[in-house]
Amino acid sequence: MSFVKFWERSRKIVAIGRNFAEHAKELGNEVPTNPFFFLKPTSSYLRPNGTILIPPKCDVHHEVELAVVISQKTKMVKSQDAMKYVAGYAVALDMTARNLQAEAKSKGLPWSAAKGYDTFTPIGDFIPKEKIPDSELKNLELWLKIDGQYKQKGSTSQMIFDIPRLIEHVSSIMTLEEGDVILTGTPSGVGPVLPGQTVECGITGITSATFKVGDYSSISSKL
pLDDT tens-digit readout, 130-189: 999 999 999 999 999 999 999 999 999 999 999 999 999 999 999 999 999 999 999 989
Please tell me the predicted confidence (pLDDT) of residue 33: 81
% of the chain beyond a pLDDT of 70: 93
pLDDT tens-digit readout, 100-112: 999 998 999 999 9
Please tell me the predicted confidence (pLDDT) of residue 221: 46
Phi-psi region of 189 (alpha: psi -120 to 50; beta: other; left: phi over 0): left
pTM for the whole thing? 0.94
Q: Could you write out the three-class secondary structure of 121-188?
A: EEECCCEEHHHCCHHHHHHCEEEEEECCEEEEEEEHHHECCCHHHHHHHHHCCCCECCCCEEECCCCC
pLDDT at 218 over 90: no
Q: How confident is the model at residue 18 (pLDDT cuts 50, 70, 90)?
A: confident
Please tell me the predicted confidence (pLDDT) of residue 220: 52
